[in-house]
């Protein structure tokens, strides 16, 4: 039980720190639904913390003491200002009760009401006297000067400031985590928007893998999971695509279309002198397979091509880290 009788600054600050802990920590008496969340205190403009005793015999009388602190423009807490509380009530009550109160001041005008000094009425029969009780600072000083930063924070109130600052730290850390998660979601959304569209038609996977041409030394022990995709050994013979495209357009004095230019470039890459070399592509984007047989990879991975078509807007077959599968060709670039 906290002492409701007015005392010195150190005792009042220590009492206020204890009350705050009781109101903000989950205990056997206080479940999660009965505590004040850290962000509520961290965002408050001010706090009034006090203990009140109520005694009754035909009429009830209330009295108590505490402190009020305000948030300064730099985000720190002001020096504590003393407050006292008194009131009378009707009703047939017998007994004595001591209770603690934490009043959250969410608006500047609420802080100003405490800063003006004098008496405040809380409810119908409870009056708060601001300033005159306690006289913490051994001099006549107005509550306004205390709560608006003209009085430095006293060392006697370090226990109180420690717990107040801990709420701000928790709130800021939680805010940083929320912002980090939000930024990560936005980045994932942005990355997803920038990915090129996947080819619509997928090649059909064979139920019985077909062995590649055993005459090719590099493919002697390889199997094709997708017979519909010709291997580059089968598609380009003697550079015929290259010569046919060039000679045809030269004869007619025409420019090659973008599609034909792409075929020309790929044919040049897969000319006979390169057929014995494993062909690798580098992933420009990450690809997460959506169906069985898809080849997963991350941006920057180097994939060995097994089968391909003449179009970059198609599915190709490749090998990566011992796994074989198909992937969208417009997600990679030729090494």
3-state secondary structure labels for all residues of 59-103: EEEEEEEEEEEEECCCCCECCCEEEEEEEEECCCCEEEEEEEEEE
Shared-domain flag, residues 128 and 201? no
Inside any domain, residue 214: yes
How far apart, in whole angstroms, are the C-alpha atoms of residue 95 and residue 92? Answer: 10
The answer on pLDDT for 329 being more than 50 is yes
Shared-domain flag, residues 222 and 210? yes
Shared-domain flag, residues 103 and 210? no
Contact 315, 326 (CB under 8 A): yes
Containing structural domain, residue 229:
196-234+275-335
Strand boundaries in the chain, DSSP class E: 46-57, 59-70, 81-89, 94-105, 118-122, 126-130, 210-211, 223-224, 280-283, 302-307, 315-320, 323-328, 332-334
Higher pLDDT, 141 or 17: 17
Shared-domain flag, residues 45 and 103? yes
How far apart, in whole angstroms, are the C-alpha atoms of residue 81 and residue 83? Answer: 7
Q: Which token pair is 209?
A: 């893998």
The predicted model gives 118-128 an average pLDDT of 60
Shared-domain flag, residues 36 and 153? yes
Higher pLDDT, 63 or 255: 63
Picking from 225, 249, 272, the residue at the C-terminal end of a domain is 272
If one counts the domains in the chain, the total is: 3
Shared-domain flag, residues 21 and 161? yes
What pLDDT shows up at residue 205? 60
Confidence of residue 267 (pLDDT cuts 50, 70, 90): very low
The predicted model gives 177-189 an average pLDDT of 77
The answer on pLDDT for 127 being more than 70 is no
The predicted model gives 309-314 an average pLDDT of 84
Shared-domain flag, residues 151 and 216? no
Inside any domain, residue 177: no
Inside any domain, residue 50: yes
The answer on pLDDT for 223 being more than 70 is no
What pLDDT shows up at residue 197? 75
Confidence of residue 250 (pLDDT cuts 50, 70, 90): very low
The answer on pLDDT for 62 being more than 90 is no
Inside any domain, residue 106: yes
Shared-domain flag, residues 85 and 206? no
């Amino acid at each position: 039980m906290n002492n409701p009788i007015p005392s010195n600054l150190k005792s009042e600050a220590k009492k206020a720190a204890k009350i705050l802990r009781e109101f903000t920590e989950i205990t056997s008496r206080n479940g999660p639904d009965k505590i004040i969340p850290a962000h509520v205190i961290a965002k408050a403009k001010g706090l009034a913390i006090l203990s009140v005793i109520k005694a009754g015999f035909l009429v009830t009388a209330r009295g108590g003491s505490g402190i009020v602190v305000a948030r300064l423009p730099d985000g720190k807490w002001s020096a504590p200002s003393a407050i006292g509380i008194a009131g009378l009530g009707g009703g047939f009550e017998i007994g004595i009760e001591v209770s603690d109160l934490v009043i959250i001041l969410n608006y500047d005008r609420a802080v100003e009401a405490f800063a003006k000094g004098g008496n405040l009425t809380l409810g119908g029969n409870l009056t708060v006297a601001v300033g005159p009780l306690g006289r913490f600072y051994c001099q006549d000083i107005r509550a306004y000067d205390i709560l608006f930063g003209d009085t430095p924070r006293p060392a006697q109130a370090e226990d109180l400031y420690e717990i107040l600052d801990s709420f701000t730290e928790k709130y800021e850390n939680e805010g940083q985590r929320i912002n980090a998660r939000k930024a990560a979601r936005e980045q994932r959304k942005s990355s997803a928007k920038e990915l090129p569209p996947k080819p619509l038609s997928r090649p059909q996977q064979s139920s019985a893998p077909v062995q590649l041409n055993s005459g090719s030394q590099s493919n002697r022990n390889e199997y094709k999971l997708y017979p519909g995709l010709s291997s580059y050994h089968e598609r380009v013979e003697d550079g015929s695509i290259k010569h046919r495209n060039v000679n045809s357009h030269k004869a007619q004095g025409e420019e090659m279309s973008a599609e034909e230019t792409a075929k020309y470039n790929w044919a040049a890459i897969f000319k006979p002198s390169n057929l014995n070399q494993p062909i690798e592509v580098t992933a420009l984007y990450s690809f997460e397979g959506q169906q069985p047989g898809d080849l997963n990879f991350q941006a920057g991975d180097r994939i060995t091509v097994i089968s391909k078509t003449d179009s970059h807007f198609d599915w190709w077959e490749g090998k990566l880290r011992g796994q074989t599968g198909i992937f969208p060709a417009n997600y990679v670039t030729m090494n």
